[in-house]
A and B are shown apart, each in its own frame.
Chain A
Amino acid sequence: MFVVYLLWVTFVAGGLFMGIAAILFMQENGFSFAVLLNAVLYLGIALYGLPKLYKFVFKRG
């Protein structure tokens, strides 16, 4: 069970970190398609994982 919990934490934390880093990078260095793709994909992963993690932590059983 611990590994599943860790997986969702990684998806959410990693997704937010990479997504926000991509947006900040574009803010400083201008638009780039590949960086935008990173932002969309990682923030999408974080947004998808957030309710799952919430449910996993607070509504178990």
Chain B
Amino acid sequence: MPDINIFGINVIEVSFRWLHAFMVAGWLLFDFLVYWLHFDVKNPAVPLEARLERAKIMHGIDRIVAYIFILTLPVGIILCYLTDNAPFSSTWLTWKHVLYAVIVIDGLCLIPISGTAVRNLKAIKDGAENVDELNHEIKHHMNIAMPAVFVVWALVIAISVLTLLNLKQPEDQEYFFRDASVVTTVEQDRS
């Protein structure tokens, strides 16, 4: 890939770094919005129209989160090769990929229960007779999704911290937030 340098900055590499960081920030932000909206959606005391409206917004935001989730891995892999770090070339990056795999597995648990709220609320609006049962299903599915959602947040934050602690400047490959001499000593001690 050709290097496009402006004022000594590799534009492609830096753009991918920022894109990767913004994607993770956006993922967390949108996930918080969904979490905030879910309280009204699962509450039968809130008017049906308001619940349905919030559920649709929630579903729309969830779709953005899904796209971010889908793009995170390819963008990360491209970044690995742009920065000359093959996916398993360093210990921290290898563990980061392990954590991401756990997030994917977590996501797999959430897929079967996504979409319940919109579907059930539409059924209630259309005059379904088993309103209590449909409301209970919405609440039940949202409550069992919560631990998985919290695990995703914890892992995304853990991955971000891990990345920040191992972030290097593009030019001379010095760590941003760590003393390189100390890191070298520790790594030498291990070997």
Is A45 on the interface with B (CB-CB < 8 A)?
A: yes
Is A57 on the interface with B (CB-CB < 8 A)?
A: no
Interface residues of B (CB under 8 A from A): 63, 66-67, 69-70, 73-74, 77, 86-88, 91, 94-95, 97-98, 101-102, 104-105, 107-108, 111
> What is the interface of chain B mostly: helix, strand, loop, or mixed?
helix
**For residue B101, which residues in chain A have a CB less than 8 angstroms away from its CB?**
18, 38, 41-42, 45
- The answer for the CA separation of A10 and B108 in the assembled complex, in Å, is 12
- The answer for the CA separation of A25 and B67 in the assembled complex, in Å, is 29
**For residue B88, which residues in chain A have a CB less than 8 angstroms away from its CB?**
21-22, 25, 32, 34-35, 38
What distance in Å separates the Cβ of A34 from its nearest Cβ neighbour in chain B?
A: 4
Task: From known contacts A7-B66, A10-B70, A18-B87, infer whether A45 and B97 are also in contact, taking CB-CB under 8 Å.
Answer: no
Contact call A34/B94, Cβ cutoff below 8 A: yes
